[in-house]
Amino acid sequence: MSAALHPTPLGPPGSYLAVGHVVIDVLENGERRPGGTALYSALQAARLGLAATIVTRGVPAEVEAALEPWAAELELIVQPSQATTTLGTAGTGTARRQRVLAWAGPVELGALPDAAILHLAPVAAELSGGAPGEWRFVGLTPQGLARGWGRTGAPIVTREAPGDLVAAAGRCDAIVLSELERDSCAALVRRGLRGGATVAVTAGPDDTELILADGTTRRLPVGAVEQAVDDLGAGDVYAAAFFVRLAAGAEPAQAAGFAHAAAALRLRGIGPEAIATAAELA
């Protein structure tokens, strides 16, 4: 629902709920690193001072062990599965290639805990339909809706976002997607804008485009990042910072500038531990 229709939070104030697969990224050098939009975004929200919860699906012991370094910062709800989503990951930026090595299955959305901010954060086609109930602020990163693969081990390819989640986009307050997902998510973006969403289209080091429900667009330059090391999760960090600032009442351009700073600091380190705190961003 639009935040404008719900001036009082429908979940605990300062709470952030990210729903999507926590994944194991298997990198080219064999390193196994926890990842996924839900992890990166929830951890960024936690470091901005919010009470952050992840709802995911996988092998509970495996997911809990992977996220143990951040156990003090995050609440974790793992819906049991026989596998944890595992992605073979190679390359960086627009040249990144990924394969699905294991898939945990769909995340059940029927009984989510309350939160002021709901972030629908799919990475591998794990969400279907919208989340029932009332939410003060709903953010969507549709990357995982625009992904498909033929069999285990096959490369991930781009597909058109499913119709049920296109419809759910009409309940969103904000949507963040990359330029690479723009065509496959075009119907979703249109539905979101009709519902009053603010849309940010990121393009790596190139300008971010803001699209408002009234048709206004604005291009915001992204400052150069010195000593960029690793870009995995930078877009997820951007989305979390953007949603948090918008939910707090910031103007879209101001929220986007804050999100650019969060992503820039993430780029200067490796993995989730490089996510900045509020003090570092200030």
What CATH number did the domain enclosing 166 receive? 3.40.1190.20
AA letter at 130: G
d(CA 238, CA 248): 16
Q: Is residue 277 in a domain? A: no
Q: Is residue 95 in a domain? A: yes
Count Cβ atoms below 10 Å from residue 50 Cβ, excluding itself: 23
Count Cβ atoms below 10 Å from residue 52 Cβ, excluding itself: 28
Contact 125, 147 (CB under 8 A): yes
Residue 10: per-residue pLDDT: 46
What residue numbers bound the domain in which 52 lies?
A: 3-271
Per-residue pLDDT 10s for the chain (282 aa) are 233 333 333 456 789 999 999 999 998 888 899 999 999 999 999 999 999 999 999 999 999 999 999 999 999 999 999 999 999 888 666 667 888 999 999 999 988 999 999 999 999 999 987 788 788 999 999 999 888 888 888 888 888 888 777 888 888 999 999 999 999 999 999 999 999 999 999 998 889 999 998 989 999 987 666 665 677 788 999 999 999 999 999 999 999 999 988 988 887 777 787 788 888 888
Q: Is residue 169 in a domain? A: yes
Q: Is residue 278 in a domain? A: no
Residues 6+ apart with CB under 8 A from 65: none
Lookup: tokens for 162: 């499913």
Q: Is residue 86 in a domain? A: yes
User: Number of folded domains in the chain?
Assistant: 1
Residue 258: per-residue pLDDT: 93
Residue 7: per-residue pLDDT: 35
Contact 48, 148 (CB under 8 A): no
Q: Is residue 179 in a domain? A: yes
Q: Is residue 279 in a domain? A: no
Q: Is residue 64 in a domain? A: yes
Which of 124, 160, 163, 120 lies closest to 140, judged by CA? 120
- CA 226 to chain CA mean position, Å: 24
Residue 226: per-residue pLDDT: 64
Residue 65: per-residue pLDDT: 97
Q: How many residues does the chain have?
A: 282
Write down the pTM of the prediction: 0.91
